[in-house]
Each structure stands twice: as C-alpha cells, then as structure tokens.
A and B are shown apart, each in its own frame.
Chain A
C-alpha cells in the first residue's frame, strides 16, 4: 500500500497530533513513513502543512510531488483549497467546514463551501460543533481523523489501537474521549 497525505491548517490547530496517531498506526504495521513538518516562524498563526507518506515500500522523497497526494486532511476549509494542486485526480479532501478567520481579506465562506462541493471526493464537517455536541470538546482533530479513515486505507481498529497507545500516559478519560471522537468521525464519512 501507499498513501500520501497532506495535513494542513492554521498554526496552533494541532495537525501534528493527527500525524502522530497515523504515524503510530503505520509504525505498528511495519510500514515505511516519512513526515515533513513545518516548525518555526510560520507556526505563529500562519498557514501550516505537513507531508505524511506511508508505504509498504521504501519512500525516497520527504515531500509529496504535485498531483501526488491521496488525501488532504485540513483543520480549516480555505487551507484545504490551498493544497489542491498537490491532490491527485481521485484524491479525497477531508476538512473542517468552520473557517478560522485571522486575516482581513478572508474570502466569503459560502464561496469556499461551493468550491469544496465541486470536488469529486470531499467530506466537509463542522468538527468543532460535533466535538461540543458530543462532550469531547478537545478532540475535534480526532473526529476529523475518523472521517478520513477509509481514505487513509488504514483499518479502523488499528487507528483506535494507535490512539490508545498515543494517549495512554494522559489517563483513561482522555483515551476514551479520543476513541469516542474517532467513532463520531467514522460515522461522518458516509
């Protein structure tokens, strides 16, 4: 198998914890992994992205070529659109539908939603609202991960097991909240 994933959002939204869970699941399956991250200045409220590549064969480049990504997982709808040139023609976009507006010229959100709706394979959900409604307010990003499960090509049970390992030292309550968030996300992928 080979899945090339672009994780994106705004600095501080926690895209790297999604990457950690996917990485843990892939590592446990003895898959090859490369994950290029962005650290430093752009983390201060700017756009951030991470290239995550998992494969059963060795991976050469840390970066995903244009048109090569199988999935875009985005914590923010406009940020999902930013990386479209990296998506392959049959690729999936899994994104939060709630805008993060910290710039004066943020586009009209209805235009962004319309643009997203034109894509062949897209899941756009209000993860923040779902997280609040389901009493897992800190696990919105894991809801997004659950919604991406099929597109990632990783078995649900393996993602859940990875969550249990990644959050184990934070206590049972946090583990269970994230497991619940994953299942809420799964139901959203239709």
Chain B
C-alpha cells in the first residue's frame, strides 16, 4: 500500500532511507542537510528499531562510523552539506577502495548561490574523483524512491553511493507517495573481507584495479537506469533531427519542464555520465544545451577541453556561469536559443512591471539577547586599546559579528580556522591575535589546532563562545557541552589562563578585565563565555511550561 505525505526533500530522503532498512544515520548539522537526521531522530520507526541517529562530532567521524556499520553488514546513511565533503574526503575517497558490506549512501546537500555557505562547490566531482556512482534526484518523489535503489545498488556493486541534492530540493516540500511498510534491517554479519578493508598498498592496488575496471559496468547501468531517459517532443512523434536538444540534470530538469519547450530532453539522475545517451542526443540534435544546477560538470565532460559551437550552457554564457538556476534564467536561455515569439514562452512579455524603489536590504543579524553580542561588545571595548588587533572568526552565528554594529572579525574560512589562522598570524609576528570560535565548531575542528598552539606556546587568545548548542542550524546538540574546560586542560592549556565567564551586560567589567589580561599574557589563553542560545532557551522554557 502507498500513502501520500507532504515532505521536504530532506524528509523524503530520510523516510526513503528508513523504509530501505536503515540501521544508522551519521551526520553533522549543516544547511541544507540538517533536516534529514532530525526527521530520523523523531520518527517512531527509528525509535522502535533503535536506528542510530545521534549527531556526530564532524563529517569525518560520521563517515568512518558509517563504514564501521557497513563492515558489520548493516545499512548506513551519512549526511552533510557540501563543504562537509571536504572534511570527510579522506574516508569518502578511500571507501571506494574498501568497498562496502552493508549498503552505504553518502547524502550531500549542495548550496549553489551560497544561501548559507562559504562556497558553491559541486559534489558530483567528488563522486567522479572517487569513482563512486552518483545519484541526483530531480523531485522529492525521486529522492524517496532513489534511496532504496541506492542502498540496493550499493550492496550490488559493493561500493558506496553518493546522493547529491541541492538547496531547492532539500528545502522544498511536495506530495510524495510512500510505502506504509519498511524493509527489514540487515542482520549483523562477518562477510567483510579483511584484505579489502586493510588498505596496505598491496591490497589497495588490487582494489584500485577492481574499482577502475568496474567503471564500465557503472556507466552501462547509468545508461539503462530508469532515472536517465530521453523524452522526444510530442510524446515521441517528433522524431528526426531537432535544432535544439537539452540535457538536464537534477532539479534543473524541472526548470526546463516549467518553460514548456517541446524539444528532445535527456534527463540525467544517475552517474557516471552515460555516454551512450549523450551520443544519441548529439547525433539527433544540431545543438545541445546543458542545464545543470551547480558547476558545469556534465558540460565539461561532453565538450572536453575544446571549444564547440554546438554545446551550450554555463561555459558559453547562455546560462549564468555561477549561482543557482531559476525558472527565469533557464526560460531566458531557451527563448533566446529557440527565438520564441510565442507569448506563453516569452517571459519578458509576462514580466510584471511592478517593483518598488523603497525596498532596502534586511541582512540577518544576531538575535536580541544573544550571548555572542555581549562577547563582541566586550572584545571591541578591549581591542580599541591596541594599535592593530586582528580577530580570526569561524563558522557559526557569530560570523555575523563581521556586520555592523560590531565589525569585529577579520576572517572566516572554514570550520576551525580561527585558532590555526590566529596561530599562523602570531607566528608571522602579529599581536594581538584573537580567535573566536563557537562550541560546536571547536569540537568539530578546533581542538587539533589548539593542540598545535599549545605545543608551540603560540601568543594567541582563544575565545570559545559557548551557547550550549549548534545554534546556526537550529539548535542541535553540541558534542562538547559541559566538557570544554576539561578538553582545554587536557590539551595542555594552563589552568591559570583558562577562564569561564557568563556573557551578560552586568558582567562586562569582569569580562573585559580578563580579555585584557589574557591578551597581555604571552602564550595560549582560552576564555569561555558560556550562556545558552536565546533561541533554545525560549524553546526549552516553552517545553517546560507545556510539561507542567
């Protein structure tokens, strides 16, 4: 029996995985992937089956734990945002060498246009790079259906499957037909062969040959996949040479459909790129436009390194080179190419003449009552006493400290880079060099950098602004809560240069005194302003009220 549910793309992925007999999800929160794990955490079936769903410290620990579950024969899902792929790249790439026992799906949510990210890298390159088959659903229904297909395929090919979604898929709802029953979980087994999983060079070479040889089969499977298909115009009546054909992948396929053009369309949702289908398009169309969300992944493969008059897309300027596609940018490119004078297709004739010059930008900002505000107020007050202070920021709500009224940070690169960049700057002769990092980011990737700093007695001041949660992504558990002093002491921070303060306006004199003293101390200092995120505080207060 099937039933209909209104699901976010992320939720469709999560339910698809549960229905495919998932035994564990391993993830670190990151927009736009967070809701997958949250959905599983709250789902009754996951509770009944005790499916692992607790947050991991970072994407690398998540990927490795999933490999451990696969080693024992069970199905595991790993979820992350695109930049998380960089953090787990080592185990991800090597997972093609080990192969899998239980199925492994690595779900990565890309964020073109960088709604909540620092770059717009396209994760499909990771799949190709690692020789791992990649799925890219174009609808929430496909996201649900493909999850079971991906787990089955992973076990059939003994390889992980990379599933790529983008923001507009992850965070958009649609009606999805889902099963009302779930596949049984795999039993624990001991079928994993040590010679595959011990990546000594002699073993890894054999696996590398095997996986390389397997690529032809993966491409053949992609050519025959139900998710990759060529649709001809007029329901197939439009055979013969066409002036324009379209190759569209993932969510970009929907924008092509929205435009209403009736030309041959090859939809791609499974990689390696099926050359056979691409060849059919090139042979039957004078020109082919490639419409894909993200970087020109298909386009570069189809064009090769040479210029071509016949392959159009992001590289030739018909579509914008960067940023996410929209129904408007796709329709404009198609109109231009097809020279459509048809009213219905010509978006310019439909364009509203309405707009207002009054509208001004409303950037996001730190919440009223947020502890990070008090931290920046104190830090700015102290730092104005110094000639050229530099503050190295990190990834989280507190990155908003770059904006007015604080204008408090000078860098934000990747998870953990505040501490290591402050150390490098100090090595170069900078003083004061201050790092500001959140609690969850610190345990994600800041601890190792702090050890480097302690080992060299770097002249830096580290502020771990601890709001007891992973706030930016909506208030998930933070791996280090209540452990920060112990972690810092364990890494060798001197007890007299480790301070915990409560960031509130009434404590300003104490906080500014401590910051000043520790900047003036020649060595590593750690200050931990600790106060719960105002959003989770309100939520907890509401829950307590409801329970009483």
Q: Known contacts A42-B115, A45-B365, A68-B350: does B173 contact A33 (CB below 8 Å)?
A: yes
B191 within 8 A of A: no
CB distance from B138 to the nearest CB of A (A): 10
A120's nearest neighbour on chain B, judged by CB, is B354
Chain A residues within 8 Å of B367, by CB: 44-45
B328 within 8 A of A: yes
B169 within 8 A of A: yes
- CB of A40 within 8 A of CB of B172, answer no
B254 within 8 A of A: yes
- CB of A46 within 8 A of CB of B472, answer no
Chain B residues within 8 Å of A66, by CB: 328, 347, 350-352
Q: Known contacts A33-B175, A39-B35, A82-B359: does B327 contact A46 (CB below 8 Å)?
A: no
Interface 9-mer from A56-64, A127-135, A145-153, A179-187: A56-64
- CB of A10 within 8 A of CB of B173, answer no
- CB of A103 within 8 A of CB of B362, answer yes
Q: Is the interface of B mostly helix, strand, loop or mixed?
A: loop
- CB of B474 within 8 A of CB of A39, answer yes
Chain A residues within 8 Å of B354, by CB: 84-85, 87, 89, 119
Chain A residues within 8 Å of B174, by CB: 32-35, 59, 62
A105's nearest neighbour on chain B, judged by CB, is B360
In whole angstroms, how far apart are the Cα atoms of A27 and B4 in the complex? 9
- CB of A27 within 8 A of CB of B360, answer no
In whole angstroms, how far apart are the Cα atoms of A89 and B352 in the complex? 6
A19's nearest neighbour on chain B, judged by CB, is B173
CB distance from B384 to the nearest CB of A (A): 21
Could you mark each residue 70-101 of chain A with 1 if its beta carbon is under 8 Å from any beta carbon of chain B, else 0?
00000000110110111111010000000000
**Which of B257, B331, B364 sits near A41, CB closer than 8 Å?**
B364
B355 within 8 A of A: yes
- CB of A42 within 8 A of CB of B364, answer yes
Chain B residues within 8 Å of A88, by CB: 350, 352
In whole angstroms, how far apart are the Cα atoms of A88 and B359 in the complex? 19
A161 within 8 A of B: no
- CB of B168 within 8 A of CB of A106, answer no
A18 within 8 A of B: no
- CB of B254 within 8 A of CB of A62, answer yes
B182 within 8 A of A: no
CB distance from B473 to the nearest CB of A (A): 7
CB distance from B343 to the nearest CB of A (A): 13
B363 within 8 A of A: yes
CB distance from A120 to the nearest CB of B (A): 9
- CB of B173 within 8 A of CB of A35, answer yes
CB distance from A59 to the nearest CB of B (A): 8
A11 within 8 A of B: yes
- CB of B352 within 8 A of CB of A46, answer no
A177 within 8 A of B: no
Q: Known contacts A33-B175, A44-B367: does B351 contact A10 (CB below 8 Å)?
A: no
Chain B residues within 8 Å of A103, by CB: 360-363
B24 within 8 A of A: no
B246 within 8 A of A: no
- CB of B472 within 8 A of CB of A41, answer yes
- CB of B254 within 8 A of CB of A60, answer yes
- CB of B251 within 8 A of CB of A62, answer yes
Q: Known contacts A36-B168, A46-B365, A63-B327: does B358 contact A27 (CB below 8 Å)?
A: no
CB distance from A168 to the nearest CB of B (A): 16
Q: Known contacts A37-B173, A62-B254, A81-B359: does B364 contact A43 (CB below 8 Å)?
A: yes
B413 within 8 A of A: no
Chain B residues within 8 Å of A79, by CB: 362
- CB of A84 within 8 A of CB of B356, answer yes
B377 within 8 A of A: no
Could you mark each residue 1-33 of chain A with 1 if its beta carbon is under 8 Å from any beta carbon of chain B, else 0?
000000000110000000000011001000011
CB distance from A182 to the nearest CB of B (A): 20
Chain B residues within 8 Å of A39, by CB: 31-32, 34-35, 116, 171, 474
CB distance from B171 to the nearest CB of A (A): 5
CB distance from A10 to the nearest CB of B (A): 7
Which residues of chain B from 348 to 387 have a CB within 8 Å of any chain A CB?
350-356, 358-367
B258 within 8 A of A: yes
B397 within 8 A of A: yes
In whole angstroms, how far apart are the Cα atoms of A57 and B352 in the complex? 24
B6 within 8 A of A: yes
CB distance from A3 to the nearest CB of B (A): 15
- CB of B362 within 8 A of CB of A84, answer no
Q: Known contacts A10-B362, A60-B254, A67-B350: does B6 contact A40 (CB below 8 Å)?
A: no
Q: Known contacts A27-B6, A41-B31, A107-B358: does B175 contact A60 (CB below 8 Å)?
A: no
In whole angstroms, how far apart are the Cα atoms of A24 and B251 in the complex? 24
Which residues of chain A from 111 to 165 have a CB within 8 Å of any chain B CB?
111-112, 115, 119
In whole angstroms, how far apart are the Cα atoms of A118 and B177 in the complex? 44
B326 within 8 A of A: yes
- CB of A102 within 8 A of CB of B362, answer yes
CB distance from B71 to the nearest CB of A (A): 34
Max count, chain A CB within 10 A of own CB: residue among B6, B31, B172, B254: B172
In whole angstroms, how far apart are the Cα atoms of A46 and B403 in the complex? 13
Lowest 5 A-B CB distances belong to which pairs?
A40-B116, A40-B31, A46-B364, A60-B257, A61-B258
Q: Which residues of B contact A (CB under 8 A)?
A: 4, 6, 8, 31-32, 34-35, 115-116, 168-169, 171-175, 251, 254-255, 257-258, 326-328, 331, 347, 350-356, 358-367, 397, 400, 472-474
A/B interface sample: 26 pairs, CB < 8 A = A11-B364, A34-B173, A39-B35, A39-B116, A40-B31, A44-B397, A44-B400, A45-B365, A46-B363, A46-B365, A59-B174, A60-B255, A62-B172, A62-B254, A65-B331, A66-B352, A78-B359, A81-B356, A81-B358, A84-B352, A84-B356, A85-B355, A88-B352, A89-B353, A111-B358, A112-B358
